[in-house]
């Protein structure tokens, strides 16, 4: 039953994508809106009341026994990175609601299947847009951020997909409650350990320069003497290898860190094999479970840049920094979910999340927030990411056993 719901929803949502490879549903795109409509239709089959907030997030409510108590929000997002993968946790949230409806059990508090907008911050340089909007935390400058492909503002896209940016700013946000997210793990840890799911203790924060560049001096690749060159590609390679060394050193000390240069562009129509490259654009993404490590790496980045500039005669321009805070999830809620898992004979590991997730935004706003990671393989944020629907069904059963008395006894 749970498996059938999961399979159907994943199939319907993934029919909605820009041309492949992989799946591409940009944040606040018509495709994302259509994916939300799929969930709305599924919710209405279960007679759940569907509403949208001013940011066009979707909420589908199943009434609980105690209507006055803070509700249990269970959900995730449906946007993807460009050419991303096929899996997400929204299908699990709907399957959890369906399990309650089909068993005839009323959940202890209102269960709200939550589908956020715009979680993949590759499209707009803003983190956790939908969930922070729901929480009343999105700011006016953030609404002016432009989508990387269209160049139009977040406010324009939000309005076009049914939202009301002015109302988002007025708030108020949702009252603090409980939020649980099911999501594939981004790394291969669970797959290597052959474990179906895990409980997440916290979410790494990130520090990004998305529009950095280095400018050197164009010259002839055969004629310019070495000592006269200001080669943008050699300078950038120096920076990448320097940060690689620092990354290894910081990990060796036992700190948490990840460094990625996801995009390097020295490939304009002006670049050619016979020219010393005069510029290169790049982005750098630094993540850690600890804010102090992010600060330290930011200092290191700037020190290395100063040294390379002095040595090579180039000029780096980092541009705007975007940043998300590391977030601890709820230890108490994790304990409850671990007990629920034990009731169905499971003992999931506890682990840190490398990727950012909506749950981090709710946790930062003072909610009781938790996450279940699902085993995936072939990596994540790529067309080949893979997940067993049976693993998601196990996570759903764990939550049913955690939050429902009758479910627990099945």
Which CB atom, from 67 or from 220, has the smaller least distance to a copy of itself?
220
Q: Which of 258, 342, 386, 408 binds a copy of itself (CB under 8 A)?
A: 258
The dihedral built from the CA positions of residue 213, 214, 215 and 219, taken in this order, carries a sign that is negative
Which CB atom, from 170 or from 384, has the smaller least distance to a copy of itself?
384
Q: What is the dihedral of CA 312, 313, 317, 318, to 10 degrees?
A: 20
Q: Which of 139, 241, 299, 335 binds a copy of itself (CB under 8 A)?
A: 241
Q: Other C-beta atoms within 10 Å of 86: how many?
A: 19
Element (H, E) at 398: helix 389-403
Per-residue contact flags (x/-) with a copy of itself for residues 337 to 376, judged by CB under 8 A: ----------------xxxx--------------------
* Residue 382 near a copy of itself by CB under 8 A: yes
Q: Which residues contact 383 (CB under 8 A, 6 or more apart)?
A: 20, 21, 22, 23, 83, 84, 85
* Residue 261 near a copy of itself by CB under 8 A: yes
Q: Which of residues 135-164 bind a copy of itself (CB under 8 A)?
A: none
SS3 (DSSP) at 221: coil
Q: Other C-beta atoms within 10 Å of 293: how many?
A: 21
Q: Which of residues 50-79 bind a copy of itself (CB under 8 A)?
A: none
Which region, judged by CB under 8 A, interacts with a copy of itself, from 32-40, 67-75, 283-291, 292-300? Answer: 283-291
Q: Which of 65, 249, 262, 323 binds a copy of itself (CB under 8 A)?
A: 262
Distance between CA 130 and CA 125 in Å, rounded?
Answer: 13
Distance between CA 164 and CA 295 in Å, rounded?
Answer: 35
Q: Confirm if 357 and 183 have CB atoms less than 8 A apart.
A: yes
Closest by CA to 260, choosing from 281, 284, 238, 237, is: 284
Q: Confirm if 181 and 357 have CB atoms less than 8 A apart.
A: yes
* Residue 130 near a copy of itself by CB under 8 A: no
Q: Minimum distance from CB of 390 to a copy of itself (Å)?
A: 22
* Residue 119 near a copy of itself by CB under 8 A: no
Which CB atom, from 42 or from 120, has the smaller least distance to a copy of itself?
120
Which CB atom, from 172 or from 273, has the smaller least distance to a copy of itself?
273
Distance between CA 288 and CA 271 in Å, rounded?
Answer: 35
* Residue 386 near a copy of itself by CB under 8 A: no
Q: Confirm if 278 and 315 have CB atoms less than 8 A apart.
A: no
* Residue 269 near a copy of itself by CB under 8 A: yes
Please state whether the peptide bond connecting residue 172 to the residue before it is cis, i.e. omega within 30 degrees of 0: yes
Q: Which of residues 175-234 bind a copy of itself (CB under 8 A)?
A: 185-189, 204, 206, 208, 210, 217-226, 228, 231, 233-234
| φ/ψ of residue 5, rounded to 5 | -60, -45
How many residues bind a copy of itself (CB under 8 A)? The answer is 72
Q: Minimum distance from CB of 378 to a copy of itself (Å)?
A: 9
Q: Minimum distance from CB of 276 to a copy of itself (Å)?
A: 6
Q: Minimum distance from CB of 98 to a copy of itself (Å)?
A: 29
Q: Confirm if 40 and 97 have CB atoms less than 8 A apart.
A: no
* Residue 274 near a copy of itself by CB under 8 A: yes
Which region, judged by CB under 8 A, interacts with a copy of itself, from 3-11, 53-61, 114-122, 164-172? Answer: 114-122
Closest by CA to 274, choosing from 221, 350, 334, is: 221
Q: Minimum distance from CB of 52 to a copy of itself (Å)?
A: 27
Please state whether the peptide bond connecting residue 277 to the residue before it is cis, i.e. omega within 30 degrees of 0: no
Q: Which of 104, 273, 332, 347 binds a copy of itself (CB under 8 A)?
A: 273
Which region, judged by CB under 8 A, interacts with a copy of itself, from 119-127, 137-145, 335-343, 363-371? Answer: 119-127
Q: Which residues contact 368 (CB under 8 A, 6 or more apart)?
A: 176, 177, 178, 179, 330, 332, 333
Q: Which of 238, 304, 358, 389 binds a copy of itself (CB under 8 A)?
A: 238
Q: Which of residues 15-54 bind a copy of itself (CB under 8 A)?
A: none
Distance between CA 375 and CA 189 in Å, rounded?
Answer: 8
Q: Which of residues 296-335 bind a copy of itself (CB under 8 A)?
A: none
Which CB atom, from 97 or from 182, has the smaller least distance to a copy of itself?
182
């Amino acid at each position: 039953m749970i498996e059938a719901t999961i399979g159907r929803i994943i199939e319907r949502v993934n029919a909605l994508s820009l041309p492949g490879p992989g799946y591409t549903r940009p944040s606040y795109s018509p495709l994302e809106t259509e994916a939300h409509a799929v969930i709305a239709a599924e919710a209405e089959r279960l007679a759940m009341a569907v509403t949208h907030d001013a940011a066009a997030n979707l909420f589908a409510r199943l009434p609980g026994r105690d209507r006055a108590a803070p509700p249990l929000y269970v959900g995730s997002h449906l946007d993807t990175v460009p050419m991303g993968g096929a899996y997400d946790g929204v299908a699990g949230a709907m399957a959890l609601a369906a399990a309650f409806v089909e068993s005839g059990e009323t959940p202890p508090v209102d269960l709200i299947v939550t589908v956020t907008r715009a979680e993949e911050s590759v499209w707009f340089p803003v983190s956790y847009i939908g969930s922070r909007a729901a929480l009343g935390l999105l700011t006016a400058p953030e609404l002016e951020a432009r989508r990387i492909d269209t160049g139009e503002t977040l406010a324009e896209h939000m309005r076009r997909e049914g939202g009301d940016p002015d109302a988002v700013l007025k708030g108020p946000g949702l009252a603090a409650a409980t939020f649980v997210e099911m999501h594939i793990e981004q790394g291969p840890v669970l797959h290597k350990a052959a474990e179906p799911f895990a409980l997440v203790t916290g979410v790494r924060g990130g520090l990004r320069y998305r529009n950095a560049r280095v400018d050197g001096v164009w010259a002839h690749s055969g004629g310019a003497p070495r000592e006269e060159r200001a080669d943008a590609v050699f300078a950038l390679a120096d920076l990448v290898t320097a940060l690689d060394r620092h990354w290894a050193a910081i990990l060796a000390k036992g700190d948490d860190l990840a460094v990625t240069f996801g995009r390097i562009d020295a490939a304009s129509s002006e670049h050619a094999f016979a020219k010393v490259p005069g510029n290169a654009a790049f982005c750098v993404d630094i993540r850690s479970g600890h804010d102090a490590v992010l600060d330290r790496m930011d200092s290191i980045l700037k020190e290395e840049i100063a040294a390379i500039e002095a040595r090579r005669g180039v000029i780096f321009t980092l541009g705007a920094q975007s940043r998300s805070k590391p977030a601890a999830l709820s230890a108490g809620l994790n304990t409850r979910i671990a007990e629920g898992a034990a009731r169905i004979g499971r003992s999931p590991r506890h682990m840190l999340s490398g990727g950012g997730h909506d749950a981090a935004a709710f946790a930062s706003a003072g909610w009781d927030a938790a996450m279940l990671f699902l085993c995936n393989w072939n990596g994540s944020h790529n067309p080949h990411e893979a997940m067993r629907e049976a693993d998601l069904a196990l996570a759903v059963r764990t939550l049913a056993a955690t939050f429902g008395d009758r479910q627990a006894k099945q």
